[in-house]
Amino acid sequence: MLTGLPSRLGGSARCVVMGVVNVTPDSFSDGGRWFTPTEGIEHGLRLLDEGADLVDVGGESTRPGAERVPVEEERRRVLPVVRALSRAGAAVSVDTMRAQVAEEACEAGAVMVNDVSGGLADPGMLAWLAASGVPCVLMHWRGHSADMASRARYTDIVTEVRDELAARLTAARYAGVMTDRIVLDPGLGFAKGPEHNWALLAHLEVLIALGRPLLIGASRKAFLGRLLADAEGEARAVEDRDDATAATSALAAAVGAWGVRVHAVRPSSDAVRVAAAVGAAR
Ligand code: PMM
């Protein structure tokens, strides 16, 4: 059970589609394309038109190797976009690791906080989530993007990610966050190589067994580009990975994921509807 969100998102019978609005100059997937607030707003509105249930607005790139963005710059990027999309009637989540940005974004209308660090990056985040009662996504994370590649070491990826997510769940509860406000996410691509991402996708049921809704962010990530490499071994271009992304959405929805976070909304929106129809026919 997930509470605190508009009802269509909390108890949705089908997998929720979260559309990505990166207001950044350097995200790997769409960096620079919606960099001004006006472009971010227009893009968010397009994603809503395509059927996004939720739009996720972020102002700090987390691509491998990325440096942190100063808080003032992050605020400047995300707040106008969150405000405008919320006013337009969208359910908005804010993709931030900072409690201050989370708080201001929620004042501007955001209804959910997506913290890729699972509350680890900012010591004030879990306390703020507890006090505010705002629902959150806590993602599996082992450190900032600048050096996360060196942390991609596992002996049993699925068990370790499950246990580390369980630890974040415990920490959040200990800080006073209500269990029914928490969504978990395995953090595909964050301190993970392709083999780790595939193993996690193959065993989502282990993560779902933690008892919380699960969000999956496979969209356009490097492991898909690598899978679809051409005969010369050149990875498939980032903007040509949406069909593969939709396949991951169908698979995630079929095993019971709560949501998928994607750049191209329409293909995944169709995919989760197919998965729901198959599920309903069982
Ligand atoms: N991936 C990215 C950013 N934010 N949030 C969640 N919850 N899960 C993810 O997998 C995730 C995320 C990186 O992708 P992007 O730069 O294309 O947004």
Kindly state whether residue 261 falls inside one of the protein's structural domains. Answer: no
* Residue 198: predicted pLDDT: 98
* Residue type (1 letter), 275: A
* Residue 6: predicted pLDDT: 85
* Residue 183: predicted pLDDT: 98
| Cα distance between residue 180 and residue 111, in whole Å | 15
Number of domains forming the structure of the chain: 1
> Atom 16 (ligand 1): residue with closest C-alpha?
27
| 121-126-132-137 Cα dihedral, nearest 10 degrees | 70
Kindly state whether residue 98 falls inside one of the protein's structural domains. Answer: yes
Give every CB contact of residue 171 below 8 A, 6+ residues apart in sequence.
119, 126
> Atom 1 (ligand 1): residue with closest C-alpha?
217
Kindly state whether residue 50 falls inside one of the protein's structural domains. Answer: yes
Ligand 1 atom closest to Cα of residue 137: 7
* Residue 149: predicted pLDDT: 83
Q: Residue 81 is part of a domain; what is its CATH number?
A: 3.20.20.20
8 A C-beta contact, residue 120 and residue 144 = no
Instruction: For ligand 1, say whether the CB of 145 is within 6 Å of any of its atoms.
Output: no
* Residue 20: predicted pLDDT: 97
* Residue 146: predicted pLDDT: 83
Ligand 1 atom closest to Cα of residue 31: 16
> Atom 17 (ligand 1): residue with closest C-alpha?
29
Instruction: For ligand 1, say whether the CB of 62 is within 6 Å of any of its atoms.
Output: yes
* Other Cβ atoms closer than 10 A to 112: 26
Look-up of token digits 């008892």: 211
Kindly state whether residue 142 falls inside one of the protein's structural domains. Answer: yes
Query: What residues are labeled active site?
Result: 221, 261
Q: Measuring CA to CA, which residue among 204, 241, 246 is closest to residue 222?
A: 241
- State in Å: Cα 189 to ligand 1 middle: 9
Look-up of token digits 């029914």: 180
Kindly state whether residue 88 falls inside one of the protein's structural domains. Answer: yes
Give every CB contact of residue 228 below 8 A, 6+ residues apart in sequence.
235, 236, 240, 241, 244
| Cα distance between residue 23 and residue 215, in whole Å | 21
Ligand 1 atom closest to Cα of residue 63: 16
Phi, psi dihedrals of residue 158, rounded to the nearest 5° = -65, -45
The total number of residues written for the chain in this structure: 282
- State in Å: Cα 217 to ligand 1 middle: 6
| Cα distance between residue 163 and residue 154, in whole Å | 12
For residue 5, give the DSSP letter: S
Kindly state whether residue 255 falls inside one of the protein's structural domains. Answer: no
8 A C-beta contact, residue 47 and residue 66 = no
* Residue 45, domain extent: 14-215
Kindly state whether residue 121 falls inside one of the protein's structural domains. Answer: yes
Distance between terminal CA atoms of the chain? 23
For residue 147, give the DSSP letter: G
Instruction: For ligand 1, say whether the CB of 63 is within 6 Å of any of its atoms.
Output: yes
Mutation probe of ligand 1 site: the residue of 22, 43, 139, 197 with most atoms within 8 A of C-beta: 139
Q: What is the pLDDT along the chain (282 residues), one digit of tens a residue?
A: 899 898 777 666 799 999 999 998 866 666 666 678 899 999 999 999 999 999 999 999 887 778 889 999 999 999 999 999 999 999 999 999 999 999 999 999 999 999 999 999 999 999 999 999 999 999 999 999 888 888 999 999 999 999 999 999 999 999 999 999 999 999 999 999 999 999 999 999 999 999 999 999 999 999 999 999 999 999 999 999 999 999 999 999 999 999 999 999 999 999 999 999 999 999
Q: Measuring CA to CA, which residue among 250, 244, 255 is closest to residue 269?
A: 250
Ligand 1 atom closest to Cα of residue 28: 16
Kindly state whether residue 227 falls inside one of the protein's structural domains. Answer: no
* Residue 32: predicted pLDDT: 63
